[in-house]
Amino acid sequence: MVRANCISKAYGGRVLFDGASFMLGAGERAGLVGRNGSGKTTLFRLITGGEQPDEGSISVPGDYRVGHLSQEIHFTADTVLAEAMLGLKGDHLPENQAYKAESVLMGLGFQMEDFSRRPLELSGGFQVRLNLGKLLLEEPDLLLLDEPTNYLDIVSSRWLKQFLKKWKGELILITHDRDFMDAVATHTIGIHRARTRKIAGGTHKFYEQILAEEDVYERTRANDEKRRAELEEFINRFRAQATRASAVQSKIKSLQKKGTAGRLSGEKGLEFVFNYAPHESKWLMRAEDVSFGYGPATPLFKDLSLSVGMRDRIAVVGRNGQGKTTLLKLLAGEMKPDGGSISRGGKTALAHFGQTNISRLAPHRTVEEEILDAMAQWDRRAARNICGAMLFGGDDALKKISVLSGGEKSRVLLGRLIAQPANLLLLDEPTNHLDMESVDALVGAIGAFEGAVIIVTHSEMILRAVATRLVVFDGGGAAVFEGTYEDFLQRVGWKGEETPPLPVKKVSVKKGGPSGRDGGRAANRKDIKRARAELINMRSRVLGGLKLEIEKDEEQIIAFEAQVENDSRALIDVVMKGDGEEIQRLSKSIHDAKEKIEILFAGLAAATEELETRRGVFDTQLAELGEGAGE
């Protein structure tokens, strides 16, 4: 358990926390929400001991292990698989270590051929994935994840979501993806006005409660102000009358006791209103039989055709590295296809947002100058309004691009997009540096835009809210899917999700020698026998690991059920004695144990289902080898 007790933290004159308190109970998975800059990442550093609060304390049990996803890369093993296995606890049997590590790595998007690669050969994104996999295998008591999906594609994000839903320890999660958070978290912790508030349930419930409380506060404050004005009027009117002296003194004392409730300051968020350029034609863009690859040996996609009409909402989805960003660059005219053609309508006005476009911002320019540069007509007032909408108010609009953070530069790019008249928006992962409220505002602006939008995103929340058509990169190549994302999941689905991926190499056995001689058949039988032995060993290793996990869950469930029974009997006795403190302790113990039982049952059901699925796959493969051997 983690307990924050009246913590305060400030940097210069900026207060992040002022007497904030919360407790994370056993088995709780909390989503941490708050505006960008509200202190979410700082809170993680306070929990890990990387920083200390100015006042108050954060306490964790002495033997409690806290795991935090680090962006710092430090690998010591020779291979990806060996590096991942460093995260495993020592009480696992060696034959089950490889199975666990392989399963996690494959869930995070690694292929079997990656296991033997050197970690430093990986791209930066996959190095972070390896760090994440190692952390998950460590199974710390408390897992702290700060935007873990930023380096994942949509398939890996879906896997991680399911993995975290079965997490048996405690978890605090920061993510701008509301659907991901609400699917994983049992509770929501919000940083709001330098305090923390924790509720059971998801983000919608949290924000509804905050809005309701602030509405009550404002109405109470307004009533108090009205009452205060009435008291002051009474005092001023009758202060000079001796007959009313006692009444006046009473009112003065009442006024002094009341104090003054301050008006709540508004919390400003990003404001998106895209600048629409009128277009009367039916079509904005056509791509016909487009192909592209980085050399003949590495084609990304072939013969892709796509027509873009007014009000189209097209999402480009798939694993990383398959060509989604490249496709947007081709559509934007920044790259040329190897084959096929891309044409635009006569009045098509295109605006492109891409993370790589940050490098095109001029370091010597101010934020305001970058916005003015994107505008069709020079209008400083309009530019200042856009700067304010992107949270560069006042003198912040005069900051040089060279001094901005990556997130701030991303907001400048969004400001340029808003300033630019367009009827076709190309958006490549526009939410990576936004908080949850800003993502909601962006989704609303996309819905209100009168032109067409093509967006690359791994957020299933955005896909469900926005997309009416898809360009899907899955299993090599790209194809257009005519329907929503939910239609795609129901009718097609992602490859590899039907059956959990097995770390088993497919065995290839020849059907006899080149001339059918006895020697060829003998060699063939020998190959099959060897293949069967390898498969049986793998089956024993994989299924044995799952069986151990199931047995461990069952033992813990039995232990917690016994604890609930014992505590319930003890509770009856202390109720009869009227011991309030012991009643409270036992009630909490029973509640916590029941929550753990519920979590364990969910994990047990998932492990049992996985065991049966994997057993079926192995049995099928063994049967095929049996037929080849003449059995």
Q: What is the pLDDT of residues 48-103, one digit of tens each?
A: 999 999 999 999 888 889 999 876 788 999 999 999 998 887 554 555 567 888 88
Residue 592 has pLDDT above 90, yes or no: no
pLDDT greater at residue 232 or residue 411: 411
Residue labelled with tokens 């978890």: 171
Average pLDDT of span 233-252: 59
Residues contacting residue 121 through CB under 8 Å, at least 6 positions apart: none
Residue 212 pLDDT class (50, 70, 90 cuts): confident
pLDDT value, residue 507: 40
CATH number of 2-65+140-207: 3.40.50.300
Residue labelled with tokens 């007790």: 5
Helix H, strand E, coil C: the string for 478-515 is EEEECCCHHHHHHHCCCCCCCCCCCCCCCCCCCCCCCC
Residues contacting residue 20 through CB under 8 Å, at least 6 positions apart: 4, 6, 7, 8, 56, 191, 194, 195, 196
Residue 174 has pLDDT above 70, yes or no: yes
213-229 pLDDT per residue, tens: 766 656 666 666 666 67
- Least confident range from 76-85, 150-159, 293-302, 477-486: namely 293-302
- Least confident range from 249-263, 299-313, 610-624: namely 249-263
Residue 602 pLDDT class (50, 70, 90 cuts): confident
Residue 500 has pLDDT above 50, yes or no: no
Residue 573 has pLDDT above 60, yes or no: yes
Residue 527 has pLDDT above 80, yes or no: no
235-244 pLDDT per residue, tens: 666 665 555 5
Q: Which residues are registered as beta bridge partners of 30?
A: 172, 187
Q: Cα separation of 206 and 61, whole Å?
A: 28
Residue 290 pLDDT class (50, 70, 90 cuts): very high
- Least confident range from 173-177, 265-269, 481-485, 501-505: namely 501-505
What is the domain partition of the chain in residue ranges?
2-65+140-207, 283-491, 520-628
pLDDT value, residue 119: 93
- Least confident range from 290-299, 454-463, 577-586: namely 577-586
Q: Starting at the edge strand that comes first in sequence, how are the strands of the sheet with 283-293 ordered?
A: 299-309, 283-293, 339-344
- Least confident range from 167-181, 199-213, 355-369: namely 199-213
Residues contacting residue 102 through CB under 8 Å, at least 6 positions apart: 81, 112, 115, 503
Average pLDDT of span 250-267: 53
pLDDT value, residue 484: 94
Average pLDDT of span 236-257: 58
| pTM listed for this prediction | 0.69
pLDDT value, residue 356: 75
Residues 299, 291 contacting (CB under 8 angstroms): yes
pLDDT greater at residue 441 or residue 249: 441
pLDDT value, residue 247: 60
Average pLDDT of span 166-177: 92
Residue 350 has pLDDT above 70, yes or no: yes
pLDDT value, residue 287: 95
Q: Cα separation of 302 and 320, whole Å?
A: 18
- C-beta pairs of 482-485 under 8 Å, 24+ apart in sequence: 485/315, 485/317, 485/460
Element (DSSP H or E) covering residue 457: none
pLDDT value, residue 239: 60
Residue 230 has pLDDT above 80, yes or no: no
- On the 0-12 / 13-18 / 19+ scale of CB atoms within 10 A, 587 is middle
The mean pLDDT value of the chain amounts to 82
Q: Which of 75-79, 375-379, 491-495, 554-558 has the highest mean pLDDT?
A: 75-79
pLDDT value, residue 14: 85
pLDDT greater at residue 466 or residue 616: 466
pLDDT value, residue 256: 55
pLDDT value, residue 455: 97
Please tell me if the domain spanning 2-65+140-207 has the same topology as the one spanning 283-491.
Answer: yes
- Where does 190-278 have alpha helices with state H? 203-238, 245-258
Closest CA to 318 of 176, 427, 470: 470
- Least confident range from 19-28, 561-570, 571-580: namely 571-580
Average pLDDT of span 355-374: 89
pLDDT value, residue 598: 75
pLDDT value, residue 525: 67
414-467 pLDDT per residue, tens: 999 999 999 999 999 998 888 888 888 899 999 999 999 999 999 999 999 999
From first CA to last CA, the distance across the chain in angstroms is 57
CATH of 283-491 given 3.40.50.300, 3.30.70.580, 3.40.1080.10, 3.40.50.970:
3.40.50.300
Residue 36 has pLDDT above 60, yes or no: yes
Q: Cα separation of 25 and 29, whole Å?
A: 9
Average pLDDT of span 319-323: 85
Residue 365 pLDDT class (50, 70, 90 cuts): very high
Residues contacting residue 318 through CB under 8 Å, at least 6 positions apart: 153, 154, 155, 324, 472, 473, 474, 478
Residue 245 has pLDDT above 60, yes or no: no
pLDDT value, residue 479: 93
